[in-house]
Structure 1
Amino acid sequence: MGRDYGQFCGLAKASSVLGERWSLLIVRDLSVAPCRFKDLHEGLPGIPTSVLTARLRDLQAAGVVTRVAGERPGGGVLYTLTPHGHALEPILDALGRWGAETMTVPEPDDVITDMSLAAALRAGYRPGVTDTATSYVVHTGPATAWADTTPDSVTVGAGVPGFVADLTIRSGPELRALLAGNLAPAAALTGGAIQIEGPPEAFERFARTFHVPLAEPAETP
């Protein structure tokens, strides 16, 4: 378990559970879908197996993560969030939006994973923006994720979905500018920064439905 700060404070208790390195990203990935140990390890480039083992053990002890048997024969053991862990999802989304406020383009060593892209779509979803249910598949760099939206809810997943989406989007770092509202959908298509398979009006709908703003530049003293 992480360090106990010795305070009768909810934030201190949350920090003792989630403040260790990699813990939040493990919970992020499990908030998208249950995972086997191998899938978690491959989806978190750079995490040592010993650290992943320790973090999963701590998260289980805290009642955030549990182990279940895979549904398919030979599916092995899956790690999944408990109801207490699923309660973190809106907090994860809020933290993701806050962290993305200063993200413009990836650093040279930054990676985008299927799970991180799926979580970003969930965090950027805005209910009530459109009255049309639409499904999307998004490819950006090596990552692929999908989002199935209704006017008031979103379901996301990593990788290619098991259904035919209404719109497929292929983009590089330009997707960040689109989500921030700094790149208009029509300009993205005309300039070739983003390619789509599907109706342009669905792409316009995507740009309205998913929004992750950038922070205003700090004023120089």
Structure 2
Amino acid sequence: MKHLRKWISACSVMFILFATVFPSYAASSSISYNYNETNVFTNQDNSSIEYTESRDDGLYFISEHFSGDSIDSKIYKIEDGKNRFISTIHSKITNNEVICAETKANGETDSYKISVDVIENKPQITPYFRSARYIRTEKSEISLLGKKLTIGIVATAIMAVTPMMPFAVATKIVIAAIAGAGGGGVNVLPNYLYVTTDIYSSQLAGKRYRRYENRYYLDRARTQCVGSWTFSKRWGNGH
């Protein structure tokens, strides 16, 4: 198991996924495996993920289901082999934010948001790529500081800054980030995740497209890449 964790940490960049929105960009998958001693994944597909996670006060089971622009996360604590309900967190993508509303078992509620800050949006000296014309580079930061997080909620935050990304791809990037940060649960993630997006323009058969190359990092210097997502979309009139 130790060798598996090291392999995933070293090879997390292998989660790089290239796709276009035409004709399709997502592939269904179902997995059941351990990637370290504290997380056990029981199910993952294009719209859901279920797993157990070891925290400081015990073992938890988390079930998350994504639909449209929202995700519902149900959190249980495992006690004497049974799941005791702790809370439900409903999270919704709104522009470049994820608004989270938690309802606890005793009825108490809490709300918070995960914000995405664009810290740089300007042209840089970048070579042409596959005959595409370079437009600009955007750099963003996803704030995870002081939030109640799950793999699905962090994945939703990544989707907020990366349009067209499938939920299954976003969760794989979060899993790679956890492994790269030392393994365990989402508590090992840094206060921020860092995103770099290179944008290109191209023309095919008289139609214009925009190509977005996104890379995700654990550090502000952007040396610890944990995955990437590339897609193209038709660029219509007036855009």
Q: Greater helix percent: which structure?
A: 1
Identify the structure with bigger relative contact order (alpha carbons < 8 Å, sequence gap 6+). Answer: 2
Mark yes or no: TM-score above 0.5: no
**TM-score scaled by length of structure 2:** 0.25
